[in-house]
Amino acid sequence: MRTATIARIAALLAVPALLAAPSAVASEKAGTLDVIAHRGSSGVAPENTAPAVKAAIKQDADFVEIDVQRTKDGRLVNFHDCTLERTTDVEERFPGRPSYRVSDFTWDELRTLDAGSWFHETYAGERIITVREVITMVRGKTGLLAEISPCGHYAATGLPAALEAELRSVRGYVEDAVADGELGVQSFEVDDAKAFKTLAPEIPVGVLDAERPTEAELVALSEWADDVGPQYTVTDSALVARVHELGMGINVWTVNEPGAMRTMAGLGVDGIITDYPQSLTGS
């Protein structure tokens, strides 16, 4: 993925107000690092909705990170949780359903849900959006980092292939985005990430991990993966150095506190995934 010059990290600038980032971070020296908006700018707008994506673009994030799932009738949508209860009114709108998994609802059903009120009344009525809609919003403006859902019920159902087909269905998008360094795919599931890489070798692919990857895992990943994505709490200078030595990039998640942002930037990571991209860009 492309690297972008970030704002200078020199002081903490408090941002008061409801739904604002905890602080903005500046730098004593210019660095290069990708600022990756986690589920969009999800600290200031409901995650994975159009306002979150648009806010991330306005805040000059280098990438908008999204979560790819599939509806019962095959539509790819941008939604994180395996089930719908936490961030929508699905239980009120469809009471008594035996399952509230995203994959058990049609697109026509999902598009009726309120995916914004849980966050703040300002966003009442915001809808779940499709992957195609996200592509339309980010194309030519910023990068897209698409995560293939790790929800177990998608296993062996071809979700990597579906995402690859969806990306290519937008004429010229993959070619343009790859040329500009504005497209990547990642997953917690090694098999899914590898399957996608086989289908689309030109698109950078990363593997996420909540634990510190072992030496054996890193060596194995270096044979085909472009990036690794450990949780920032298990990341140190030795890990960053080894990942780079093996020819891969390292994007850490989910970094929201200014001190942790400074620490990760100082370690030389390639990307920071955050709910508050404006804390790094200053926008």
Instruction: Give a yes or no: residue 1 inside a domain.
Output: no
Asked if 244 is an active-site residue, the reply is no
Between residues 194 and 152, which one has the greater pLDDT? 194
What's the pTM value of the predicted model, to 2 decimals? 0.91
CATH number of domain containing 149 = 3.20.20.190
Domain total for the chain? 1
| pLDDT band, residue 153 (cuts 50/70/90) | confident
Q: What is the mean pLDDT of residues 51-80?
A: 98
Instruction: Give a yes or no: residue 120 inside a domain.
Output: no
Instruction: Give a yes or no: residue 83 inside a domain.
Output: no
Residue 245: how many CB atoms within 10 A of its CB? 10
Please state, for a pLDDT cut of 70, what percent of the chain lies above it: 89
Q: Tell me how far the alpha carbon of residue 62 is from its chain's centroid.
A: 11
Instruction: Give a yes or no: residue 126 inside a domain.
Output: no
Provide the 3-class DSSP secondary structure of residue 205: strand
**Which residue segment(s) compose the domain that 166 sits in?**
12-70+131-281
Residue 271 near residue 182 (C-beta atoms within 8 A) = no
* Nearest-angstrom CA–CA distance, 144 and 137: 10
Asked if 120 is an active-site residue, the reply is no
Among 80, 120, 153, 244, the active-site one is: 80
Instruction: Give a yes or no: residue 88 inside a domain.
Output: no
Instruction: Give a yes or no: residue 81 inside a domain.
Output: no
Q: What is the pLDDT of residues 246-279, one digit of tens each?
A: 999 999 999 999 999 999 999 999 999 999 999 9
Q: What is the mean pLDDT of residues 201-228?
A: 98
